[in-house]
Amino acid sequence: MKTIECRFKTCKENSKRKQLTVMTSIINDLQNPASLPDKTGSVSVVQTHISIVFIADEFVYKVKKPVNFGFLDFSTLEKRKYYCHQEVKLNRRLSRGVYIDVLPITFDGDKYTVRGSGQEAMEYAVKMKRIPDEKLMKSVFERGELTVDHLKEVADILARFHSNAHRAPEIDQFGKPENFRVNTDENFEQVEKYIGVSIKENEFKALKKWADDFYRSNRELFLKRIGEGRVRDCHGDLHMEHICFTETLSIIDCIEFNDRFRYSDTVADIAFLLMDLEYHGGDNFSKALWNEYKELVEESDVDSLLIFYKVYRAFVRGKVNSFQVDDDNIGPEKKDEAVQRAKKYFQLAYSYIS
């Protein structure tokens, strides 16, 4: 029995090494403009904990990493293909003409390309129209050019999106406290290993106790929200880098990899953006956006719930930045930057309850 277990472990390790080798080759090869289907002068690469993004002159090609975090499983090629198609389908709800197609990455015997046809797909890439960095809400904010008109436009788009977003009994289930608690419990389990790295022990314990107490005291509030029809198929990852002030406002990069992160209270959705503004020092913008939005959707008496979801969102951002510590594709300098970001997010979460 022990021999079988050892063989299984060896096979798993060999498979992981092979995937890492393939991904390293893809990263190297797709930086060559000749490997992409559209003419481009240069290609740059940006990595997150779950994706590798190749940025060309007019288009972007996004490849999913072969990772499994429990809440996200891209461990097989078929799963990565499926979630590429989900990404295109779901993101077209809030962005027109940005998500173009899912393309196969093939090996021609010499290098990996996104130009192959009739060859076996080794990976898949989501092809997107490139949005200039200066059009992102974060860039507009950092230049000091964010205005009340911008906030009104965002509030209007989100209010209409949330009001029309799909609602169903199976989606309502994710608004129940015992079901949403799966998310927060998972967060604490996954972050515990980073105590002393990106989060202080006293912050971790205080946030966990606060969340436990909130669930105990507010069950009826969660159920009331379901009854009011506030639990919907939302965006799930609504922060400033995903809001684009192009000719038509586009909101990109929703959660495609796990329905339970997207099926949520609408307040949980906008809480992410409000938290992100506050993380970057835009407290007044956060208040103005919330006031505009809640008037449009006729929200009231949800202050405690808003704080709860802002804590949740800040904690999640701290978690995903912490994950980069364990990513073999990321160098020491980038890992340290991720740790510093994670610390700031966890401190923000803690400040909401202090």
Asked if 230 contacts 267 with a C-beta cutoff of 8 angstroms, the reply is yes
- Give the domain-ending residue among 130, 164, 189: 130
Q: Are residues 62 and 86 in the same domain?
A: yes
Residues 187 and 248 in one domain: yes
pLDDT at residue number 138: 98
> 48-81: string of b/e by CB count within 10 Å (b at 16+)?
bbbbbbbbbeebbbbbbbbbebeebebbeeebbb
| The pLDDT value given to residue 119 | 82
Same domain (yes/no): 96, 122: yes
Q: So what's the pLDDT on residue 218?
A: 98
The domain boundary, picked from 130, 162, 191, lies at 130
Q: Are residues 253 and 109 in the same domain?
A: no
Whether residues 88 and 141 share a domain: the answer is: no
Q: What pLDDT is recorded for position 17?
A: 65
Token readout for 276 is 């992100």
- One domain for residues 196 and 219: yes
Number of separate domains in the chain: 2
Low-confidence stretches of the chain (pLDDT < 50) are none
296 and 328 assigned to the same domain = yes
227 shares a domain with 348: yes
Q: Are residues 236 and 331 in the same domain?
A: yes
Could you give the 3-state DSSP secondary structure of residue 145? coil
pLDDT value of position 6: 58
Comparing C-alpha atoms, which of 327, 239, 255, 242 is closest to residue 83? 255
Domain that holds residue 90: 2-130
pLDDT on residue 12: 54
Last residue of a domain, one of 75, 96, 130: 130
How far out from the chain centre does Cα 301 lie? 28
Please check whether residues 211 and 304 belong to one and the same domain.
Answer: yes
CATH at 331: 3.90.1200.10
For residues 122 and 140, membership in a common domain is answered with no
Both 114 and 181 in one domain: the answer is: no
3-class secondary-structure state, position 328: coil
38, 224 Cβ separation under 8 angstroms: no
Instruction: Report the pLDDT value the prediction gives residue 7, as an integer from 0 to 100.
Output: 55
